[in-house]
């Protein structure tokens, strides 16, 4: 039960944005690479094609637009220059003003979607859960309150709220005190789902101890994530830990810091032991503190021990025990209820920050609501597929496993993802989702993404990112102007880390900049033709 900490659990300096900005190559080499590519590719305005050319929509054949421009050949030639040499690419681009397909490459090949999978989750949640949906956490009882003493058991029902915090629970306990309850002659029973599936099939074992793969449970407190720091001792290579003392976990370490970075093999490991005990071993290269974000392994135990401590802090006396239960009796009277933000706010955080816990919590909720069963990943997967297919999207060859995209078993094609984007663009009830997407250089995961936080893509791209080891995907909308948008999906799988570091910008940025430039030239040339026709109608009609 080991996790490689140096693989996914990395130090994030406080000045992270400025460091990331410095790490991005200047615009000059980025523009230069495109200039070289453009010099090798005939301009689209000169690439007139025979109107009788076969236009097979499956990819890699000539794709003519309504004006006869050979977009397919243009972008095929472009890819021969800018495509990463070791990656598998799947691409789809469509002009939303006339629904013409501008380009497709391996559009029906099934690949790993990573977090672009969250687009499917968002659509399904909007269809099934509705705008008024929220997660509720509630204190209730069948007991009798007299003179500040509640005689009977107190129940706290959890609903898998991915945003529930200790501050929320403290506020609920304060409300109990304000309602006159200072003593409970009974037990506090924390109610959650029995034998629940907290992790989806296909989640990478190395990720399970890290917060972005925290267990998706009925019991969620502070995102089931514990943050701390591993620090080197001043006069030795030994390490020491810094975690909040009030947290009901135990973390130990025998790790060492290779301060001079001389060790040929230096790697940290996290062992997940019973009862939320973690042990860090191995070696970390460097002499700077390492920020840690460890996923809670046993959410029910964590909630139980957290509430035990919080009751004491709230000065509520309990004659019985704090325990876990899986059912509530009939006839409970609600005492205090906490509700999460509504669905739109949850989806905003999910899409902007690519929040895995929110995505999978909503995914499981969709399945439970759709099939009226207990929450699990299998029901969520079937429900999402059924909901989207009811909207006319053919997912018969796809593989949907979770709602976040963490599973390595997920498979989807660029065309299928494009159909989801197309549905969002044309359906008024789903169109608000577009406003929740990250904007290049402005918000969310596109705020500081290399190649997107500067001209010409800054403010021009609204899209969902999808990144994991060997995967770099992007799916969304490219704006030519206020009323002209291009729908696009760029999926890169099998990405080489060496190629990624050597590239002046992500392939998606290079492709989208060329798409922006080329389509802008076509629109401009078409505008000039329209002006010529208006000014010289007789001459043009004779040609």
pLDDT tens, residue order, the chain (543 aa): 555 554 443 333 333 233 223 333 443 444 444 444 444 454 444 443 333 333 334 444 455 555 556 788 889 999 999 999 899 999 999 999 999 999 999 999 999 999 999 999 999 999 999 999 999 999 999 999 999 999 999 999 999 999 999 999 999 999 999 999 999 999 999 999 999 999 999 999 888 889 999 999 999 999 999 999 999 998 899 999 999 988 999 999 999 999 999 888 999 999 999 999 999 999 999 999 999 999 999 999 999 999 999 999 999 999 999 999 999 999 999 999 999 999 999 999 999 999 999 999 999 999 999 999 999 999 999 999 999 999 999 998 999 999 999 999 999 999 999 999 999 999 999 999 999 999 999 999 999 999 999 999 999 999 999 999 999 999 999 999 888 999 999 999 999 888 888 888 999 999 999 999 888 676 666 655 554 555 555 433 333
For the residues of 338-407, what is the DSSP string, one character each? EE---HHHHHHHHHHHT-HHHHHHHHHHHHHHHHTS---HHHHHHHHHHHHHHTT---TT-B---SSS--
Which one is catalytic: 115, 140, 467, 503? 115
What are the tens digits of pLDDT across the range 240-258? 999 998 899 999 999 999 9
pLDDT at 67: 55
**CA–CA gap between residue 258 and residue 273 (Å, rounded):** 26
pLDDT at 18: 31
By C-alpha distance, which of 377, 405, 326, 340 is closest to 162?
340
Name the one residue in this structure whose structure tokens are 């130090």: 11
Q: DSSP state, 209?
A: T
Across-strand partners of 95? Answer: 100, 486
**CA–CA gap between residue 46 and residue 74 (Å, rounded):** 10
pLDDT at 329: 93
Contact between 366 and 128 under an 8 Å Cβ cutoff? The reply is yes
pLDDT at 69: 64
Contact between 319 and 186 under an 8 Å Cβ cutoff? The reply is yes
Characterize the bridge pairing of strands 2-4 and 277-285: unpaired
Q: DSSP state, 25?
A: P
SS (H, E, C) 40-82: HCCCHHHCECCCCCCCCCCCCCCCECCCCEEHHHHHHHHHHHH
Q: DSSP state, 206?
A: G
Checking 64-70 for CB contacts under 8 A at 24+ apart, the result is: 65/95, 65/100, 65/102, 65/522, 66/98, 66/100, 67/522, 67/526, 69/44, 69/45, 69/522, 70/44
What are the tens digits of pLDDT across the range 302-311? 999 999 999 9
Q: Can 118 be counted among the known catalytic residues?
A: yes
Q: Can 508 be counted among the known catalytic residues?
A: no
pLDDT at 286: 92
Which one is catalytic: 118, 304, 449, 464? 118
Which one is catalytic: 157, 354, 361, 503? 354
Residue 110, classified by CB atoms within 10 Å of its CB into exposed (0-12), middle (13-18) or buried (19+), is middle
Across-strand partners of 466? Answer: 473
pLDDT at 541: 36
Q: Can 174 be counted among the known catalytic residues?
A: no
Residue 59, classified by CB atoms within 10 Å of its CB into exposed (0-12), middle (13-18) or buried (19+), is buried
Across-strand partners of 144? Answer: 151
Across-strand partners of 291? Answer: 229
**CA–CA distance from 457 to each of 27, 366, 448, 453, 517 (Å)?**
12, 35, 12, 7, 10
pLDDT at 235: 87
pLDDT at 518: 86
Contact between 306 and 221 under an 8 Å Cβ cutoff? The reply is yes
Complete domains list, the chain, with CATH? 25-46+64-110+413-523 (3.40.710.10), 112-133+342-410 (3.40.710.10), 135-340 (3.50.80.20)
Residues counted in the chain: 543
């Amino acid at each position: 039960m080991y996790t490689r900490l140096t693989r996914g659990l990395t130090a994030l300096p406080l000045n992270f944005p400025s460091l990331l900005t410095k790490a991005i190559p200047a615009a000059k080499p980025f523009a230069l690479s495109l200039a070289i590519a453009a010099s090798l590719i005939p301009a689209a305005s000169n690439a007139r094609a025979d109107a009788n050319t076969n236009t097979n929509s499956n990819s890699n054949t000539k794709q003519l637009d309504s004006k006869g421009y050979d977009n397919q050949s243009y972008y095929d030639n472009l890819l021969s220059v800018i495509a990463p040499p070791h990656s598998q690419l799947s691409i789809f681009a469509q002009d939303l003003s006339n629904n013409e397909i501008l380009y497709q490459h391996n559009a029906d090949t099934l690949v790993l979607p990573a977090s672009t999978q969250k687009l499917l989750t968002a659509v399904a949640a909007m269809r099934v859960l509705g705008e008024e949906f929220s997660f509720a956490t509630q204190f209730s009882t069948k007991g009798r309150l007299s003179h500040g003493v509640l005689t009977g058991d107190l129940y706290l029902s959890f609903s898998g709220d991915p945003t529930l915090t200790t501050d929320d629970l403290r506020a609920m306990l304060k409300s109990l005190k304000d309602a006159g309850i200072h003593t409970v002659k009974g037990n506090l029973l924390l109610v959650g789902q029995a034998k629940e599936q907290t992790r989806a099939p296909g989640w990478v074992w190395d990720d399970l101890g890290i917060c972005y793969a925290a267990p998706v449970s009925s019991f969620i407190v502070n995102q089931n994530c514990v943050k701390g720091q591993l620090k080197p001792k001043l006069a030795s290579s030994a390490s020491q830990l810094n975690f909040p003392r009030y947290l009901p976990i135990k973390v130990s370490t025998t790790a060492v810091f290779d301060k001079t970075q001389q060790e040929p093999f230096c790697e940290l490991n996290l062992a997940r032991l019973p009862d939320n005990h973690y042990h860090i071993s191995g070696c970390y290269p460097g002499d700077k503190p390492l920020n840690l974000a460890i996923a809670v392994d046993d959410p029910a135990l964590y909630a139980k021990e957290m509430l035990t401590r919080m009751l004491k802090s709230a000065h509520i006396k309990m004659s019985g025990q704090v325990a876990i239960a899986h059912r509530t009796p009939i006839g409970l009277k609600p005492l205090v209820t906490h509700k999460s933000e509504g669905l739109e706010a949850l989806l905003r955080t999910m899409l902007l920050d690519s929040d895995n816990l929110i995505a999978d919590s909503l995914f499981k909720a969709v399945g439970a609501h759709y099939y009226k069963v207990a929450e699990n990943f299998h029901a969520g997967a079937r429900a999402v597929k059924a909901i989207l297919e009811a909207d006319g999207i053919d997912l018969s060859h796809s593989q949907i496993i979770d709602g976040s995209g963490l599973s390595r078993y997920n498979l989807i094609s660029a065309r299928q993802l494009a159909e989801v984007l197309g549905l969002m663009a044309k359906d008024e009830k789903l169109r608000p989702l577009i406003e929740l997407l990250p904007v290049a250089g402005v918000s969310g995961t596109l705020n500081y993404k290399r190649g997107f936080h500067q001209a010409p893509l800054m403010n021009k791209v609204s899209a969902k990112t999808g990144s994991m080891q060997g995967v770099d995907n992007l799916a969304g909308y490219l704006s030519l102007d206020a009323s002209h948008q291009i729908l696009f999906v760029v999926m890169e799988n099998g990405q080489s880390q060496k190629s990624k570091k050597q590239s002046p910008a992500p392939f998606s940025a290079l492709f989208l900049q060329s798409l922006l430039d080329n389509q802008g030239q076509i629109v401009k040339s078409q505008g000039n033709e329209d002006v010529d026709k208006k000014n010289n109608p007789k001459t043009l009609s004779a040609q």
